[in-house]
Amino acid sequence: MTEEGKKSMVRYNENGIPKKAPLSLQVDLTRFQPATEEEKRQQDVMSKSTTFFRDGLRRLMKNPLAVGSLIVLLAIVVVIIVAPMIVPYGYSEIMSVNGKRDKGAKNLAPFTYSEMEQEYIDNGGERFPHIFGTDEQCRDYFIRVVYGTRVSLAVGLFASIIVLIIGMIYGSISGYVGGKVDLVMMRIVDIIYSLPDMLMVILLSVVLREILKFESGSLLAKLGTNMVSMFVVFGLLYWVSMARLIRGQILSIRENDYILAARAVGARSGRIIRRHILPNCISVIIISTALQIPSAIFTESYLSFIGLGVAAPMPSLGSLANAARGGLESYPYKLVFPALTICLIVLSLNLLGDGLRDAFDPKLKR
């Protein structure tokens, strides 16, 4: 039969689409409608390819509280970096005019000068204002708050890194190996959980401060015994939550088919954990680390407040708040500045952590 004859036997509908032959297993094209011109244009505009981090950042930028918290944190970081370059005072520098100690520059109110400074200004000299006033030892209070914020943020950041490393390694081994190893490791975690945090932190800080001795001039000596003891305390006590969280994630991930495939081709356990399991826990790791930083800052602040934190003359927000208690009735602003800074940092980090959780947790995608 010729091609023209075959075409004449095919039936078409009003749209020119061939109808399905009786008892045919082919798709009935008459059930479909041609795409409109608008639908064709929509297919031409394809969505751009994205990654896990880009997609999470895009959702994070739509959260006004998280964006506002990020702006506040960036502003604080810029201030603590730029301020020491502009303000000509040191955090331990006692006020002096023309080489003479200014004993009248004690507990000055914000943006005020002592008599010697005012006389120096009247004679044509220039003097940088005391933005937050001065303390009881005639030191500029603004620059001490700036350095105290530096110390608190540094302690919070490094303590969170220590917690992340220990908790990630411990939780990964416990969750992946399982069995008796997991049972023993989790009982150790339960024992640490049963210890009273506040009491253990204070006891360890006191004991380590007496035990740890460093050579003069070394990096650890510059950090101070109290600072190193705080890092040790965080490494001993505060990793258990991270370990349990990562263990729970790994217990569910290790049962997936791609883990079985990796084992079947002979991949080592360390490679499976690094390349297949931990990348799928990255959202939980980011969120937990972001929420751990404010906890570490708060812990450092109350340790410094009770005298077990950063050693003098290096300031900390907690030690500044403790020093301000003595003159609370006469100089209440000296307590307001470090306390307000602690509140801003902790609140911003908590809101940012909540925003990261909403943005990067796959279970919360809408």
pLDDT in tens, the chain (366 residues): 455 544 445 566 666 666 666 666 666 666 777 777 777 666 655 556 667 678 778 888 888 999 999 999 999 999 999 999 999 998 888 888 888 888 888 888 888 888 888 888 888 888 899 899 888 888 999 999 999 899 888 888 888 888 888 988 898 888 888 888 889 999 998 888 888 877 777 787 777 777 777 677 666 666 667 777 777 777 788 888 888 888 888 888 888 888 888 888 888 888 888 888 887 787 788 878 887 888 888 888 877 777 777 766 778 888 888 888 877 888 888 889 998 998 899 899 888 888 887 887 655 555
Give the Cα separation of 27 and 260 in Å (integer). 39
Contacts of 219 (CB under 8 A, 6+ apart): none
Within the chain, residue ranges assigned H as helices are: 3-9, 37-44, 52-61, 64-86, 115-122, 141-177, 179-194, 197-211, 219-223, 225-237, 240-253, 257-264, 269-272, 282-305, 317-323, 333-360
Report the candidate in 83, 232, 317, 50 with the shortest Cα–Cα distance to residue 223: 232
- Check: CB of residue 322 under 8 Å from CB of residue 304: yes
> Of 357, 162, 173, 157, which is closest to residue 274 (Cα–Cα)?
173
| CATH class for the region spanning 147-364 | mainly alpha
Domain ranges of the chain: 147-364
**Residue that is written with structure tokens 């005072």 in the block:** 89
C-alpha–C-alpha distance, residues 77 and 217, integer Å: 28
CA distances to 116, 155, 224 from 219, rounded to whole Å, are 39, 15, 9
